[in-house]
Amino acid sequence: MDGEIQANNSSPKLVEPKVKTSAAVWLGVANASTGLLCAFAEGTALTYFYHNFLGLNEWVSGLIWILFGIWNAVNDPLYGFLADRTKSKLGRRRPWIRYGAPIMAVLFAITWISFPAMKGNQWFLGFQMGISLFLYDIVYTAIASAIYVMPYEMAVTDNARSPIFVWNVAFSLVSFGAPMVLNGMLTTLIETHADIFPWAMAAAGLVAGALVFVSTFFYKENGYHREEPQPKFLEGLKQCVKNKSFLIFEVLSWTVIFAQNALMLGLTYYAGMWPENNMIILYAALAVGALLSILFYIFMRNKLGNKIEALIMCGSFGAGCLLASFLGQYFWVLVLGFFLVGIGFSGGLYLVPLVNGDVIDKDEVDNGSRREGVYAGINSLITKPAGAIAQAIFPIFMSWAGFNAQLKTTDEKGNEITDWASQPDSAKTGLFPSWFLVTGILLALSFLAMWFFPLHGKAWEDTKKELAIEHQKKEEAYEQKILAEMQANQATGEIK
């Protein structure tokens, strides 16, 4: 399929079969389950566990995160290349999800093993954290990337995919909300209940893995994707880089991943150093912003388009971060900042996949085949370092502000915990720029990038409609072929 497909009055009528609610719900469950585990295993809890509880130096931790980001340069695109070429009765994506889920659950569980005799041993802790990250992420990448592209394999248009993304947002608010609330209680969870914490994390991993496994029995992919020709590895990478819309999208995608990781990091520190302020009010402001904005995004998407809504998301998100960065010490200003951040969080969950769908559609228009796996792999390659960098730089910024993670006190039960009250005033005020400033700047840059995003307007909507019709025809032809083969096999069996 070369060049742009032009819509015309003689085109066949597009029929948009609805995705079953059960399929959309279970895909949302799988997405939230993997997201929840990742939020802990590759997020704030892991950094806090090794840095504040086990005593891993922030520079060693930062080095591990950077090496982990480099590792993803190999891991993620390779997976995407293999997934696009997977041939199975289950499809191209479901085998990775179904058979990877139990392995992911076990690897997540063993990540949180604590060896009391090794507290403060930098070589041992560095190795333990590094190997846990690397092994877990290998399996997580295969599963999460397959789930990420599944909506494009299940439905042929934005309207048909939208309910899937709505359920993804609904469940993802839990997968993001739960770690966000728990991050405000990490001192209690990890330091005060050190004997229970590993078992609780192991149980969470096993339950999430079971849900992901079960989910694969409720959704399936369009069949014609399995037979489409795919370019060679290097040629496929070259085609992605030549896709201008993809490069602009990656600015947005990288920033959203960075923001989701960075904004989790400060919650524990804020709860510890500003105990007089009510965290519930902050969470409520975030939730209200997220819920109101997701309704706006859903009902206005057809009128405004993905690009305009992404601009609204970046503008609101960035304004909230910059406001909190400079004036966050004033509680009600921080509440307003969290409300605006909520607008950005829901937009990141709902709009980023839709914009990504436009990018993949454009690639298919230009090159003639659908390559969600390669795009998911390269997207992961680019965005995984975002989370790693956020995890690496925050403890360093806080140490520059005067925070000392080695200051300890004893609680009423005799447990040694982080001494928040003794931290200097510079750490209290320095928390806010350490927490929000980089994210706010990146969101401003993303706003500028999305301003030049080319896939927008009537011509592009017409192109997508024609492409959806092509998908519909291919799927009908594939189903007819499978039916003919079944009938031929039955006839052959009867003759024998």
Give the SS3 label for residue 382: helix
Q: How many CB atoms lie within 10 A of CB 493?
A: 8
Q: How far apart are CA 75 and CA 380, in angstroms?
A: 9
**What does pTM read for this prediction?**
0.69
In the block, which residue shows the tokens 């720029």?
433
Looking at residue 98, what is its pLDDT? 92
Q: What's the pLDDT at 8?
A: 42
- The DSSP-derived string for 76-97 is HHHHHHHHHT---TT-SSHHHH
The per-residue pLDDT for range 177-191, each reduced to its tens digit, is 676 666 656 666 676
- Residue with the two structure tokens 């959203």: 256
User: Which single residue is written with the structure tokens 């248009």?
Assistant: 157
Q: What is the pLDDT of residues 438-454, one digit of tens each?
A: 999 999 999 999 999 99
- Residues of the chain with pLDDT below 70 are 1-17, 43-44, 72-74, 76-77, 79-81, 83-85, 117, 156, 173, 176-177, 179-189, 191-192, 194, 223-237, 373, 411-415, 475-476, 478-479, 481-482, 485-487, 489-496
Q: How long is the chain?
A: 496
What angle is formed at CA 162 by the lines to CA 346 and CA 149, rounded to 5 degrees?
85
